[in-house]
Structure 1
């Protein structure tokens, strides 16, 4: 049960463990350095690149295992046009050349414009990248980090880190994301059998 050695610890100790794990992961650390250099407003690397990397480290899997892409959020409400976001996406594509995983860049200030068409329901207009995390289907997945100018890792985790370190996927019922929670939970259990998924 060594993979659960950080489960239930105080938040400050879990945050320190997360930072240690991410610093030791060559893919995530490089992605954070590159993202900082891109200098998008209110940016953070979120979701799978973070919690999957923790699970990989604690179960002896190699860096990058099970990670489909690097999700890079930013939030810029000054220009909600598709063209402005597309320009940021194209700039990032050139910037991240050489990283072994693709990077998906999304302006969180624009999500409410396309979300209803894609998912069949409305979502609020996010005022920050951190606010967007609060609407993830699973509380476990709501974690983001950014690298400061002093090389510290800033952690944004509205529901804390204990679910991640407990290998437990917990639903977030703020929106009707039942299917997303179920689908992502099933995929996680296939890749990391130590995972448990709490039902919706």
Structure 2
């Protein structure tokens, strides 16, 4: 059970291990450096590319295994138009050209505008990129990193890191996201059979 060696440790120890693994991952290190150069307001790399990289490291799988893309959130409430976000997405596509994985860019200030049509329910109007992470369907997925002003990696983890280090996907019932939680759990188990999925 060597892959569970950080499970149950105090948060500060898990945080140090998490950031060390992320910083040492060649794929993430390169992507994060590019994101810093792009300098979007209140930016945050979130979710899959992060916790998947941790699971790959702890199970001896190669960097990038099972990762489809990298999710980049930013928060800009000055212009909530589709056109403004689209312009950022196009600028980012050029900026990230040549990276191994595609980068999905989304303005978290706009989520409340399209979320009801896509998911059939309302979601709050977020006030920051970090706040939106707390509304993911699974607590395990609620994690983000970015560089702070001093150039150190900063972590956003509203539910801590123990679910990630315990290979456990735990539901976040703040919104009715049962379908998403179950679908992501199934998909994760196909790549990392070490994972357990807590029922909704």
Match of 2:32 in 1: 32
**How far 1:92 sits from its partner (Å)?**
0.5
Cα distance in 1 between the residues matched to 2:151 and 2:30: 12
Match of 2:124 in 1: 124
**How far 1:20 sits from its partner (Å)?**
1.1
Listed as ranges, the gaps of 5+ residues in structure 2 are: none
Cα distance in 2 between the residues matched to 1:73 and 1:113: 16
Corresponding position: 1:47 with 2:47: yes
- Local SS of the residue matching 1:109: coil
- Local SS of the residue matching 2:64: coil
- Local SS of the residue matching 1:67: coil
When the two structures are aligned, how many residues end up with a matched partner? 200
- Deviation string 1:57-98 (CA, Å, 9 cap, x unpaired) is 000111111111000000111110111101110110011011
Cα distance in 2 between the residues matched to 1:114 and 1:149: 32
Cα distance in 1 between the residues matched to 2:15 and 2:33: 19
Listed as ranges, the gaps of 5+ residues in structure 1 are: none
**How far 1:152 sits from its partner (Å)?**
1.3
Match of 1:22 in 2: 22
Cα distance in 2 between the residues matched to 1:63 and 1:149: 27
Cα distance in 2 between the residues matched to 1:182 and 1:150: 39
- Deviation string 1:13-54 (CA, Å, 9 cap, x unpaired) is 001101110111111111111111111111010000100000
Stretch of structure 1 that moved more, 30-39 or 141-150? 141-150
When normalised by structure 2's length, the TM-score is 0.98
Corresponding position: 1:154 with 2:154: yes
When normalised by structure 1's length, the TM-score is 0.98
Match of 2:199 in 1: 199
Divergent runs of 4+, >4 A:
none
**How far 1:147 sits from its partner (Å)?**
1.8
**How far 1:149 sits from its partner (Å)?**
4.4
